[in-house]
Amino acid sequence: MAQLYFQRGMHEQRAQFEHFFRDYPDYGSHQAGYAINAGLETLLEWIDGARFGPDEIAALRSQTHSAGRQLFGDDFLDWLEQHGSFDNINLRAIPEGRVVHPNVPLTVVEGPLAMVQILETALLNTLNYQTLIATKASRLAEAARGRPILEFGLRRSASLGGNAATRAALIGGAAFSSNVGASHAMGLAPKGTHAHSMIQAFTALGQTELDAFRAYAETYPDDCLLLVDTYDTLASGVPNAIIVFDELRSAGHAPVGIRLDSGDLAYLAIQSARLLNEAGHDDAQIVLSSGLDELITLQIFAQINQEAANYGVDPQRLISRLVLGVGSKLSTSDGQPFLSGVYKLVALQDDGWVPAIKVSDTPAKTMNPGEKDTYRIYDRRGRATADLLAVAGEDLSSDAPMRLQHPIDAHQHRDLAPDDRSRLEPLLEPVLVNGQRVSDPPSLEDMRTRRTDDVACLDPGVRRLVNPHTYHVSLTPDLWGLKNRMMAEARQ
């Protein structure tokens, strides 16, 4: 496409593309009610280093037409080598960590047509995945009700994509990760536990699980977290852990806790808590892992609430000791492993911005055309009540009721009286101007705060894990009018 634009003299014509996703992740039996935006800094780092260097140009030059001739002309390749960078693009985006919704532009790129087209795959590859994983992490955080989540997914994540998974999980709701490199890059200490193999190594050499636990306590007296299910959780693992914890306390150290990695986690957590409590270790953490996702976590908490008291264990105190180790199902977004993010041409400059559209027989897939402004509207309680897409430059300061038009159904709209709205917040912020950053990268803490602030502004029905309320994404009457005119024209 870039070569075609080059041959037609269209390659440096300014174009505007929007990145948005079409639907919340739908995990089969349950669909998300909101998403968490992530991946922008990773994309900016990529853009900063992306060039068509000699190796890339040589690789392109070696491509051939079916008829055998060189596929890319020397004139085009020369242009690409000299001008094939992202130095001339402007990029606006919704900041990482914020709550986001379908069909709202998360990233808007403006620049020479050929280069903003070339950016498409890298942009989608980077942003779709991290937004997907940050969203899953936020759902886990909802299910965990304040208890910490440890991200353990690297061994089964998608090759080098595992580092992006860790980054997104840490933004979206995970407290820590066992991924040493990615944690370090985010300025966090990694957190993990030992593996079964450590116990196996000791027993293969004629020693016991207890010997292995003692060795671990000797090496890490203040960080002693023991995996107790190598042979038999309640008959061997927990009793041996208690012996070692007693010894640690006698020596003036506080044991950290145990990890349960198989079996009926709710039942074993209750029974382990009972044994630990009886031995005076009622502050020891209980880390749960093995196939956890948001619904299994919800179920474990419910089962503990229902059953713990039957065994003399206080359910709330037990829950306050839990830590959730979540692996494969977080780092692959099990149930919905990709986000439906797209990157669409919305406008082209030709004596001002000319809007562009793509229609579809599926009404939900017909895009919203043209250059836009985007807002989040808050109600009187300070709750986010809708996201609103407007034609760029529209004046929305009127005191009249504000009409929120459904993006597809002409007959559905909502009129919001001035009293019903407390704030109209622009969502997109400038990020790159002529390829240069306009502000420093946010810290992990900044991104996490955005998430918790935004989630707190959602209606509890939207936050629900199963069958959430639908958050409104609406158009202004002006944008609705533009969309309808262009659809009619395109269909002629």
With 0-12 CB in 10 A as exposed, 13-18 as middle and 19+ as buried, what is 394?
A: middle
- Please say which residue, 125 or 422, places its beta carbon nearer to its own copies: 125
- Residue 125 has φ and ψ, to the nearest 5°, of -60, -40
Closest contact distance (angstroms) between CB of 492 and its own copies is 9
Of 159-167, 242-250, 401-409, 418-426, which part binds its own copies (CB under 8 A)?
159-167
Strands 90-93 and 372-378: unpaired
Binding mask 39-68 for its own copies (x = CB under 8 A): x--x----------------x---xxxxx-
Q: For residue 344, state whether it binds its own copies (rule: CB under 8 A).
A: yes
| Nearest residue (CB) to its own copies, 152 versus 375 | 152
Q: Is 8 in the site for its own copies (CB under 8 A)?
A: yes
Rounded-to-integer distance, Cα 116 and Cα 87, Å: 11
Q: By CB under 8 A, name the one of 70, 78, 145, 156 that touches its own copies.
A: 156
334 binds its own copies (CB under 8 A): yes
CB contact at 8 A, 340 and 127? no
What's the rounded Cα separation, in Å, for the pair 36 and 283?
33
Show contacts with its own copies in window 123-142 (CB under 8 A): 124-126, 128-130
Given 135, 333, 405, 476, the residue binding its own copies (CB under 8 A): 333
* Cα separation, 471 vs 33, whole angstroms: 7
Of residues 96-115, which lie at the interface with its own copies (CB under 8 A)? 113
Edge-to-edge strand ranges of the sheet holding 107-112: 353-355, 341-349, 14-21, 107-112, 90-93, 429-433, 436-437
Distance CA 412, CA 405 (A): 6
The interface region with its own copies, picked from 137-145, 341-349, 440-448, 452-460 by CB under 8 A, is 341-349
CA atoms within 13 A on the CB side of 374: 23
- Tell me which of 145, 184, 380, 485 binds its own copies, using CB under 8 A: 184
Non-local (6+) Cβ contacts of 317 within 8 A are 282
Per CB under 8 A, the list member of 45, 78, 232, 415 interacting with its own copies is: 232
CB of 167 vs its own copies, minimal distance in Å = 9
Toward its own copies, which CB reaches closer, 7 or 412? Answer: 7
Interacting residues with its own copies between 194 and 213 (CB under 8 A): 194-201, 203-205
241 binds its own copies (CB under 8 A): no
